[in-house]
């Protein structure tokens, strides 16, 4: 992931203007560009004159610092902070947040010191700006580490004050709206990062308007051709189906009026990314997705929501299995509504969301509608409590986590929006990420309960701790004060909180045991290579210099808790022998040949399957040792691996696949098909029939539009499974060629 800010790259395009810093704005501001006059007009609706005076002072300071700096579009750079502040003003954020929005780039771009901001605008504004600023001045061992540290800093600042992430999301939204002037490569990188990090954060905080717009903007830059095609199709379909929508609206309004229910009813159009996602995941055609019309019914009270549900079920027949009550059991981000899908006119499925006015405000603005700092803790709402608990969990993970990359790994796990809802024995609802286990549940209650867990009952029946939970499960944890976390727990817990707590315990409480175990495992692996475990100081110094470990005890502890593979560390040491003069043991490896390292694909962060060639079991493979003692596995015939091997031949080692590989592996295939109706559905169905999963679909058409090239990323068990799938696809009518895509 690449945590960049588009406008940080735009700072280099500077020319000095003659305009005084105190001037309100240039008179020839291009249309559509944010202006301070428009911002002040918005703010004057809810801020006091004293607060407006402070905001204007922050504007003048920011304008002075950014004077002469231009964006890629040629606009004055100050237009960007003003636009970010306007988005925050739409949420009616307070004066401090607006000031921080106006100043959010002055530390990063203009080298303004935090102390200066404290002196001029106070500590709270300075802390907000500091939390939004990246760590450009610190040297990191790698770009990935720098990105992870930037993200860690932002999330921890957000945990202290949620306004940090609200301003950051406003900043990212404006950058995405104005991404058109960037190069194609930069557009894709920033859009990918937005989809991967900022979209799920917006969803997690219930900011649905921002969530949907960021999704569509990211989609438009990641897949511009698909976006344009869908936009054109939606525009055409909108006209064709206007009469159907009008008929449904009239029928619903009349039915609710007859029932004496005061309600607002309006149609809701699916986002382009929502349409694309549904087509991709469910292998549907465009017409099938668009046939699900969306309507919202907003009422005054919760009881009336259920009365309206009954009235609508009397108007149109409900579809079995398509009713969800998110009022009784709200979503993890505070969202509440009744969802039902009915069979409307002409057999058309019609989707309804039924909610109160308060639920509607929360659904659209999430935590921004009731920010944590507004009224203190005295009147904190349920949504605020949930958000506050999640933000505090970030601090817990940070305290238990060794480095920024690991912190980011844990947090991203918890950002996935899909959740399961389970119950404690006292009927309290607990929301967990999909795939969470009983042990994750234990740690979600309290770290101490997780650490002392010895057993679990699910629906009153004893089950293993690794059991995956499902909606509605009743979970009871059995503890023992003598019990301690086991390293094997790391192989099946799902949540970042559980994983970081287990690793923290293994590092601290069981540190000596972890060090001893790691030392023993490394000595064993060194012995297989004919190297004495008594390493010379020069070898140790170079080994630590090429890793993130600060001492050999930390290296041993990482091995003991499973963060590093002893075989890989041993191979790394083997490669250092010639440079440092380390002496092999009395019985070196026969003929200098090393036994291959066995790969199972479940080693975690220490082993990565190269994305360029995506090796699968059955492929001939080779491994590249990274400087942090990790391993990248390539296929033996990968062209990129061949180029890298010529540059650093001493970093390559033999590897082999293990047996009993209980997982699926990504693989890319390419099909040349006739451009005819239903062909994609037939291909997708055949992939499913062959017991393979689809994770990505891409399409390229030729100029004559006669043939189409389909690209799939699929998950298969091994090379034999892939060969079976390819044979089946070649038999599908309309498929001319199928081949595995190679690097």
Q: Which two tokens stand for residue 582?
A: 């380390």
* Per-residue confidence (pLDDT) for residue 727, from 0 to 100: 92
Beta bridge partners of 621: 635
DSSP track, 20-88? -TTS---TTPPTTS--HHHHHHHHTTTS-HHHHHHHHHHHHHHHHHTTTBB-TTSSBTTHHHHHHHHHH
Predicted pLDDT of residue 214: 92
CA–CA gap between residue 707 and residue 282 (Å, rounded): 24
Q: Between these two residues, 312 and 506, which has the higher pLDDT value?
A: 312
Question: Tell me, what's the pLDDT at 442?
Answer: 92
pLDDT of residue 283: 73
Residues 6+ apart with CB under 8 A from 590: none
In this structure, of 7-16, 289-298, 400-409, the range with the lowest mean pLDDT score is 7-16
In three-state secondary structure terms, 180 is helix
The predicted structure's pLDDT at residue 155: 60
List beta partners, residue 319: none
Decide: 559 and 521 in contact? Cβ < 8 Å: yes
Name the percent of the chain lying above pLDDT 70: 74
- The mean per-residue pLDDT over the stretch 499-522 comes to 74
Distance in angstroms (rounded) separating the CA atoms of residues 433 and 435: 6
Q: Given this model, what pLDDT does residue 418 score?
A: 54
The answer to whether residue 675 scores a pLDDT higher than 80 is no
Share of the chain above pLDDT 90, in %: 8
Instruction: Kindly compute the dihedral angle of the four CA atoms of residues 122, 123, 126, 127, in this order, to the nearest 10 degrees.
Output: -160
User: What are the pLDDT digits (tens) for 204-226?
Assistant: 777 778 888 999 999 999 888 88
99 band by pLDDT with thresholds 50, 70 and 90: very high
DSSP alpha helices (H): ranges in 298-437? 302-315, 357-365, 382-400, 404-414
| Cβ-count burial 300-334 (b if 16+ within 10 Å, e if not) | eeeebbbbbbebbeebbeeeeeeeeebbeebbbbb
Catalytically active residues are 108-109
Q: Give me the chain's average pLDDT, please.
A: 76
Beta carbons within 8 Å of 96's beta carbon, 6+ residues apart: 122, 124, 125, 128, 163
Q: What is the mean pLDDT of residues 680-703?
A: 76
Residue 371 has what pLDDT?
A: 42
Q: Give the model confidence (pLDDT) of 377-432 as tens digits.
A: 434 455 555 555 655 565 555 555 555 555 555 555 455 445 677 888 887 777 77
**What band does 272 get if pLDDT is binned at 50, 70 and 90?**
confident
Paired residues of 324 in beta bridges:
339
Residue 642: closest CA among 625, 617, 622: 622
Task: Please tell me the predicted confidence (pLDDT) of residue 591.
Answer: 43
User: Residue 495: is its pLDDT beyond 50?
Assistant: yes
Highest mean pLDDT among 168-177, 277-286, 691-700: 168-177
Write the pLDDT tens digit of every residue in 316-341.
888 877 788 888 877 766 778 888 88
Question: What's phi and psi for 102, nearest 5 deg?
Answer: -70, -30
Structural contact between residues 381 and 352, judged by C-beta atoms closer than 8 angstroms: no
What integer is the mean pLDDT of 516-541? 78
Delineate the domains of the chain, giving CATH numbers in brackets. 6-222 (1.10.3210.10), 228-366 (3.30.460.10), 414-506 (3.10.20.30), 510-595 (no CATH), 665-740 (3.30.70.260)
- Given a cut of 50, whether residue 105 has pLDDT beyond it is yes
Token representation of residue 649: 């031949």
Beta-ladder partners of 420: 432
Separation between Cα atoms, residue 660 and residue 644, nearest integer Å: 31
Q: Is 95 helix (H, G, I), strand (E, B) or coil?
A: helix
Confidence band for 75, pLDDT divided at 50, 70 and 90: confident
Q: Model confidence over 590-613: pLDDT tens digits?
A: 444 556 777 776 655 567 788 888
- pTM score of the predicted model: 0.51
C-beta neighbour count of 590 within 10 angstroms? 7
- What integer pLDDT is reported at residue 239 of this predicted model? 64
């Amino acid at each position: 992931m690449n945590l960049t800010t588009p406008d940080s790259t735009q700072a280099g395009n500077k020319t000095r203007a003659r305009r005084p810093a105190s001037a309100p704005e240039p008179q020839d501001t291009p249309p559509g560009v944010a202006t301070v006059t428009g911002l002040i007009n918005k703010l004057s609706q809810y801020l006091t004159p004293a607060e407006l005076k402070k905001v204007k002072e922050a504007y003048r300071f920011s304008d002075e610092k950014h004077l002469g700096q231009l964006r890629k579009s040629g606009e004055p750079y100050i237009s960007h902070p003003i636009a970010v502040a306007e988005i925050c003003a739409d949420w009616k954020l307070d004066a401090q947040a607006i000031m921080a929005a106006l100043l959010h780039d002055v530390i990063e771009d203009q080298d303004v010191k935090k102390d200066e901001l404290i002196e001029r605008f106070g500590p709270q504004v300075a802390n907000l700006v500091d939390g939004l600023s990246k760590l450009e001045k610190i040297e990191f061992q790698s770009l990935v580490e720098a990105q992870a540290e930037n993200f860690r800093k932002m999330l921890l600042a957000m945990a202290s004050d949620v306004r940090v992430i609200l301003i950051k999301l406003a900043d990212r939204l404006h950058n995405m709206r104005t991404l058109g002037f960037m190069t194609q490569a930069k557009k894709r990188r920033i859009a990918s990062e937005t989809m991967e990090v900022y979209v799920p954060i917006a969803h997690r905080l219930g900011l649905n308007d921002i969530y949907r717009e960021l999704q569509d903007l990211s989609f438009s830059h990641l897949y511009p051709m698909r976006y344009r095609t869908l936009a054109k199709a939606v525009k055409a379909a909108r006209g064709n189906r206007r009469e159907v929508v009008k008929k449904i609206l009239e029928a619903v309004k009349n039915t609710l009026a007859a029932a004496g229910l005061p309600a607002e009813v309006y149609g809701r159009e699916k986002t382009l990314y929502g349409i694309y996602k549904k087509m991709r995941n469910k292998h549907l055609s465009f017409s099938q997705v668009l046939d699900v019309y969306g309507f919202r019914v907003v009422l005054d009270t919760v009881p009336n929501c259920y009365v309206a549900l009954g009235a609508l079920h009397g108007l149109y027949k409900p579809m079995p299995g398509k009713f969800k009550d998110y009022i009784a059991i709200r979503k993890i981000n505070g969202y509440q509504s009744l969802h039902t899908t009915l069979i409307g006119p002409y057999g058309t499925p019609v989707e309804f969301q039924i909610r109160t006015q308060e639920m509607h405000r929360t659904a659209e603005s999430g935590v921004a509608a009731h920010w944590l700092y507004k009224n203190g803790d005295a009147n904190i709402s349920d949504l605020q409590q949930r958000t506050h608990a999640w933000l505090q969990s970030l601090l817990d993970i940070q305290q238990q986590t060794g480095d920024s990359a690991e912190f980011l790994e844990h947090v991203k796990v918890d950002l996935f929006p899909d959740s399961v809802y389970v119950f404690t024995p006292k009927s309290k609802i607990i929301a967990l990420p999909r795939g969470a286990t009983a042990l994750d549940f234990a740690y979600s209650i309290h770290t101490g309960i997780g650490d002392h867990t010895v057993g679990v009952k699910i629906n009153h029946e004893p089950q293993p701790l690794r059991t995956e939970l499902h909606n509605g499960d009743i979970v009871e944890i059995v503890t023992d004060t003598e019990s301690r976390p086991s390293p094997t727990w790391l192989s099946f817990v799902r949540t970042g909180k559980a994983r970081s707590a287990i690793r923290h315990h293994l590092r601290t409480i069981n540190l000596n045991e972890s060090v001893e175990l790691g030392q023993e495992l490394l000595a064993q692996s060194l012995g297989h290579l004919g190297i004495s475990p008594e390493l010379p100081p020069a070898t140790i110094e170079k080994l630590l210099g090429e890793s993130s470990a600060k001492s050999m005890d930390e290296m041993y502890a990482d091995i003991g808790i499973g963060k590093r593979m002893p075989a890989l560390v041993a191979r790394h040491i083997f490669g250092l022998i010639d440079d440092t003069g380390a002496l092999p043991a009395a019985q070196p490896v026969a003929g200098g040949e090393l036994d291959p390292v066995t790969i199972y694909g479940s080693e975690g962060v220490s082993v990565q399957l190269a994305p360029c060639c995506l090796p699968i079991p059955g492929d001939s493979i080779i491994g590249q040792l990274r400087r942090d003692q990790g391993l990248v596995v390539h296929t033996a015939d990968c062209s990129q691996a061949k180029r890298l091997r010529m540059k650093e031949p001493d970093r390559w080692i033999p590897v082999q696949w293990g047996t009993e590989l209980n997982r699926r592996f990504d693989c890319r295939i390419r099909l040349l098909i006739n451009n005819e109706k239903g062909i994609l559905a037939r291909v997708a169905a055949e992939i499913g029939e062959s017991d393979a999963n689809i994770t990505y679909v891409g399409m390229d058409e030729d100029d004559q539009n006669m043939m189409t090239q389909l690209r799939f990323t699929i998950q298969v068990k091994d090379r034999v499974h892939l060969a079976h799938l390819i044979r089946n696809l070649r038999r599908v009518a309309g498929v001319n060629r199928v081949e595995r895509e190679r690097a």
